[in-house]
């Protein structure tokens, strides 16, 4: 048996999503821009998927635009907003714990002369709405804050943050990277007061290579690609119908079962914490009361993350030492939380999906106990 508990990095493609992709590749393979029946059928498939994604966001389907993933969506949004709204204003306010797909774009924008004010999290990993809003002024044209942190699972009060931002500066554009919250937590763009949102397919049992962005009706966004004018000119290029169809099917399926999956994640989260809590060498790095049940971050005293990770792998247990994009680098997120090096350097991230099971938790806990007893003797 294998215990795959790295679902914040990527998820297994569901059977229904796989079937939708195969159907689009082998039967419904027309170009959505073609005027004949095959083209129309492909266009209808894209339209259906757009509606399914929009329903999960509580958004108008006309405001959903498909991309190759959340990284492209974040790049398009941040660069596009800067190009459109950053001509007379120059300040961006952001959390200091954003995913690299946001943080690296912000760094590039700084090189171009924009000012980025980064708001650090409190010790529980969350951004305080009052601190965030206090950094917004009349020169701020964009505020961006992720919904769920991909390393710690901490859920930011984005609704309060953006409401406070809008109250202080109604013209400020708001954006949230909702990748780790989409189809896991209740989500509506209107309730979050966000003008822009990005989501990803492969985090919710669709294939890699597909994502989407919500762009509010009154938002003018300069596109990153030019060509045939697909996606209303927002993202030119022939639509990837198989990937879009799979994303739509995965979203529809998960939306139908969101409450059941959430309860399962809560149960698994609680079981893991209760199983590890008695061990004096385990420290939990976020409080379950302020975190998504889908992510648990904890440290194993004295055992470096990479060492424990590979021991667990040898027992067919797969977890992460942080963001999959970091590839073992020191965690910027844990550093921003002012976490001591002895905890940050030994942190592991366990993340669930609707496919996760109690048996996988048993395997993980057993392997951690064995790993600690084995590895501490080597001084690693």
A 10 A CB-CB count for 340 gives: 10
pTM for the model stands at 0.94
pLDDT of residue 307: 95
Q: Which domains does the chain have, with CATH numbers?
A: 3-11+258-378 (3.90.1150.10), 15-255 (3.40.640.10)
Residue-level length of the chain: 380
Outline where DSSP puts E strands in the chain.
3-4, 64-67, 91-95, 115-119, 140-144, 173-177, 196-200, 211-215, 282-284, 295-300, 317-318, 347-351
pLDDT of residue 321: 86
Residues tagged active-site: 325
pLDDT of residue 236: 75
pLDDT of residue 380: 55
Cα–Cα distance for residue pair 377/15, rounded to 1 Å: 44
Cα–Cα distance for residue pair 315/368, rounded to 1 Å: 10
pLDDT of residue 324: 47
Question: In terms of C-beta distances under 8 Å and separation of at least 24 residues, what long-range contacts does 222-226 make, across chains too?
Answer: 222/79, 222/80, 222/83, 222/84, 223/76, 223/80, 224/72, 224/75, 224/76, 224/79, 224/80
| Tens place of pLDDT per residue across the chain (380 aa) | 899 999 999 999 999 999 999 999 999 999 988 889 989 999 999 999 999 999 999 999 999 999 999 999 999 999 999 999 988 999 999 999 999 999 999 999 999 999 999 999 999 999 999 999 999 999 999 999 999 999 999 999 999 999 999 999 999 999 999 999 999 998 999 999 999 999 999 999 999 999 999 999 999 998 878 887 777 767 878 899 999 999 999 999 999 999 999 999 999 999 999 999 999 999 999 899 999 999 999 999 999 999 999 999 999 999 998 644 445 567 899 999 999 999 999 999 999 999 999 999 999 999 999 999 999 876 55
CB 253 within 8 A of CB 14: yes
Radius of gyration, alpha carbons of the chain: 21
């Amino acid at each position: 048996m294998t215990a795959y508990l790295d679902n914040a990095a990527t998820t297994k493609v569901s059977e229904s999503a796989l079937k939708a992709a195969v159907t689009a590749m082998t039967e419904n393979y027309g170009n959505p821009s073609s005027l004949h029946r095959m083209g129309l059928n492909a266009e209808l498939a894209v339209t259906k998927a757009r509606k399914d994604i929009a329903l999960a966001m509580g958004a108008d389907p006309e405001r959903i635009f498909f991309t190759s993933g959340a990284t492209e969506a974040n790049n398009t949004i941040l660069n596009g907003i800067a190009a459109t709204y950053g001509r007379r204003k120059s300040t961006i306010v952001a959390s200091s714990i954003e995913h690299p797909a946001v943080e690296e774009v912000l760094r590039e924008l700084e090189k171009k002369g924009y000012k980025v004010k980064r708001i650090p999290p409190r010790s529980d990993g969350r951004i305080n709405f009052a601190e965030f809003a206090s950094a917004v002024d009349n020169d701020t044209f964009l505020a961006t804050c992720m919904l769920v942190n991909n390393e710690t699972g901490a859920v930011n009060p984005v609704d309060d943050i953006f409401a406070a931002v809008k109250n202080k500066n109604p013209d400020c554009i708001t954006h949230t990277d909702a990748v780790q919250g989409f189809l896991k937590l209740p989500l509506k763009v209107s309730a979050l007061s966000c003008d822009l949102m990005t989501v990803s397919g492969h985090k919710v049992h669709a294939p890699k290579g597909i994502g989407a962005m919500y762009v509010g009706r009154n938002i003018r966004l300069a596109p990153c690609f030019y060509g045939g004018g697909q996606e209303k000119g927002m993202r030119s290029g022939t639509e990837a119908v198989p990937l879009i169809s799979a994303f739509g099917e995965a979203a529809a399926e998960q939306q139908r079962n969101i409450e059941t999956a959430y309860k399962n994640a809560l149960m698994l989260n609680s079981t893991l914490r209760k199983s590890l809590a008695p061990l004096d060498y385990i420290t939990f790095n976020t409080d379950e009361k302020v975190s998504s049940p889908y992510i648990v971050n904890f440290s194993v005293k004295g055992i470096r993350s990479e060492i424990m990770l590979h021991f667990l792998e040898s027992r067919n247990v797969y977890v992460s030492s942080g963001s999959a994009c970091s590839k073992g680098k020191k965690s910027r997120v844990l550093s921003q939380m002012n976490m001591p090096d002895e905890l940050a350097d030994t942190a592991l991230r366990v993340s669930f999906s609707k496919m996760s099971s109690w048996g996988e938790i048993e395997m993980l806990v057993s392997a951690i106990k064995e790993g600690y007893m084995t590895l501490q003797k080597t001084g690693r």
